[in-house]
Chains A and B, each alone.
Chain A
Amino acid sequence: MRAKVDLGVIAYFGLNGAIVFFLLAPIAIVSVFAVNPTPYISFPPVGFTLAWFAKFFANPDFINALWLSLKVAAAVLVLSMLIGATAALALVRGNLPGARLATALFMSPLMLPAILTGLALFQIYLLAGIGRPIWGLVMGHTVVAVPYVIRTTLAVLHNFDRRLEEAAAALGADPARVFLEVTLPLIRPGVIAGGIFAFIVSFDQFPVSLFLVVPKGETLPVVLFNYMKFDLDGAIAAASMVSIALALTVVILLEWRIGLRAYLKL
């Protein structure tokens, strides 16, 4: 009896440990590469250096791409929260005919390989004579990022107690006030959680970006990919560490400034 329980506990921790290891090991290895002084990627490390970070920050191509990626991701964050939240509200509350179909349509970028979305957008831009402006890139990213916001907002809306809105209305709040005072604050955690996903999806976006960037206007993942085709040194690993750190910072900031607060205090 006792042995059985212990076995279960061991299996439980073993399995979960394996999952965490599987998820984190690549990052750990990349972080090792980033500080290993050998001019090529190798394991185990033979020393410690920050030279690869210096190389990364000294390269204007990297830095420009990093800035562009951050700006695009920030724009995608705002756009996809706006579009995703309003779409989710319309889908749940709008009494729209064909709301299920519309939901499936909104979600379709999740099912489709992003590279197809990228190719399709590229062809549409070409046919429409738009070219490849930055806002085109932002829109491309938004298309793939919006489903995340819709999904998280829908989850909140499905558990939403409509009586809260009725209570506010009965207390004298007109429909606009009801939305601002009750609906919005209560769906905000869902919208922000989706927004965080949207930011990361954009910041990490490679397949869609590949088709929509122009030379000298490439996002960080594309620049890194091009760099790797010729050099495979620690600068790549250093770039990865920097982008992981940046993404993490933004997530933590958002969560801390707005996300958690929405749960604890208005």
Chain B
Amino acid sequence: MPPSPVNPLNPPAVLPGSASVRLQGLSKSFAGTIKALDRVSLDIGAGEFFALLGPSGCGKTTTLRLVAGFETPDEGRIVVGGRDVTEMPVHRRDMGVIFQSYALFPHRTVAENVGFGLRMRKIPRQEIDRRVSAALAQVALTGLEGRRPAQLSGGQQQRVALARAIVIEPPVLLCDEPLGALDRRLRQQMQFELKQLQKQLGVTLLFVTHDQEEALALSDRIAVMNAGRIEQVGAPAEIYERPRTRFVADFVGEINIVDGTWSGGRLLAADGRAMPAPPAAGRDGPGAIAIRPERTMMTAPPAGLLSGRIVTTNYLGGQTLYRIAVDSGASILVKDGRGEGNSVRAIGERVGVLWRAEDAVVLEA
């Protein structure tokens, strides 16, 4: 593995140039048919690593393209660093953009690619050379100045794209699935480097991804999007531990959703038994709770809230993920780690499932 190009000892700092991004009620439709974005509002702080997470077609890329200025919103405003840029053309916005396909200029060398933005800013030749060298050093590509993009590996191209975007010292860096084209190993390394670089530069980074692991690992905050709307905004732990809607719960990680009926602050399953859940006074009617597989436990069948038969066992190394077909017809995932006493259980074994009330999350309808 090549040495990490980013010096992790540099203290994080918010550069004076780094800017906040405020989206106010952005809506966008394409060709008059689909509403790609529906009144999206977000407040992204200066120097924040912010992820837009969601399935394809949820509007995350459209949001990014609106901020970059590649598209204009039908409604709403975009304010960057306190300045309304909604009407500003792309080339005046000073955004650093990294595309999934990298979009390196194939007819130019690495140095010409990286220096492009500086040349457009009419910066003197010598300073361009100096800053290009510094940027290439920052992403560990020194010595490849004269190569063409086609002569580089995917990881190197990714770094050139990164250098090209940061060399103009943008107040905001926009990344559209920048690691999507890399293999898993390289991807993890680049994730680490991107995060380090972002902290080191102190730049505001808006990151689009459909990979929930990536979003959880990298971001300061995440906005989970679905069908052109924002479902939930929060820190990774908050999104994971306390998903607010069924969509967020389902999309981020594996989770068990138990449907029932709220009555007197308790969730009653179809057979009338109360499911352990935080008291939810004031709720009535159909509802659901969600419990992560690692928060559920297996017991002897009579002691469980639900009982069923183990259908599959996935050994994950250190932990085992069981899928249990419960008698009501649903299936429940249980992640069991602690080896003491409970050895790996067999497929077909009858078990009971239970969880603690405080580990269940009440989902909004």
List the interface of chain A (C-beta within 8 A of B): 161, 163-164, 166-175, 177-178, 181-182, 185-186, 262, 265-266
Contact = CB atoms under 8 A, between A and B. Distances in A.
B107 A185 contact: yes
A171 B103 contact: no
Contacts of B89: 169, 174
B9 interface: no
A266 B107 contact: yes
B108 A266 contact: yes
Given A172-B168, A186-B107, A167 B120 contact: no
A182 B105 contact: yes
Nearest to B97: A170
A136 to B, nearest CB: 38
Contacts of A169: 69-70, 89-91
Contacts of A185: 107
B94 interface: yes
A177 B120 CA distance: 9
Contacts of B121: 172
A174 B117 CA distance: 11
A173 B91 contact: yes
A172 B99 contact: no
Given A164-B105, A172-B120, 15 more contacts: A166-B70, A167-B164, A169-B89, A170-B68, A170-B90, A170-B95, A171-B120, A171-B168, A172-B168, A173-B116, A174-B91, A175-B91, A177-B120, A262-B107, A266-B107
Contacts of B68: 166, 170
9 contacts: A163-B99, A164-B103, A164-B106, A166-B70, A166-B103, A167-B164, A169-B70, A171-B116, A175-B91
Q: Which of A167, A262, A265 has the most CB of B within 10 A?
A: A167
B242 to A, nearest CB: 36
Contact of A172 (B94, B101, B103, B108): B94
Given A168-B116, A171-B117, A172-B91, A161 B103 contact: yes
Q: Which of B91, B94, B101, B106 has the most CB of A within 10 A?
A: B91
Q: For chain B, which range describes its interface: under 10, 10 to 19, 20 to 34, or 35 or more residues? A: 20 to 34
A164 B70 CA distance: 12
A173 B168 CA distance: 13
Contacts of A172: 91-92, 94, 117, 120-121, 168
B98 to A, nearest CB: 9
Nearest to B174: A170
A181 B120 CA distance: 10
A172 B119 CA distance: 9
B96 interface: yes
B90 A167 contact: no
A173 B90 CA distance: 9
A177 B91 CA distance: 10
B131 interface: no
Nearest to A170: B97
Nearest to A185: B107
Contacts of B90: 166, 169-170
Contacts of A181: 105, 116
Contacts of B99: 163, 166-167
Contacts of B94: 172
Nearest to B93: A170
Contacts of A182: 105
B107 A167 contact: no
A186 B103 CA distance: 13
Nearest to A174: B91
A163 B120 contact: no
A182 B90 CA distance: 16
B97 A166 contact: yes
Nearest to A165: B103
B91 A167 contact: no
Contact of B105 (A168, A175, A177, A262): A168
Nearest to A186: B107
Contact of A161 (B70, B93, B101): B101
Nearest to B106: A186
Contacts of A177: 91, 120
A180 to B, nearest CB: 11
Nearest to A189: B107
Contacts of A168: 105, 116
B176 to A, nearest CB: 9
Contacts of B164: 167, 171
Contacts of B107: 185-186, 262, 265-266
Contacts of A161: 101, 103
A167 B97 contact: yes
B191 to A, nearest CB: 22
A134 B222 CA distance: 69
Contacts of B95: 170
A175 B91 CA distance: 8
A97 to B, nearest CB: 15
Interface string B241-256: 0000000000000000
B210 to A, nearest CB: 18
A174 B70 CA distance: 13
A171 B94 CA distance: 7
Contacts of B101: 161, 163
Contact of A170 (B91, B104, B105): B91
A171 B104 CA distance: 12
Nearest to B161: A167
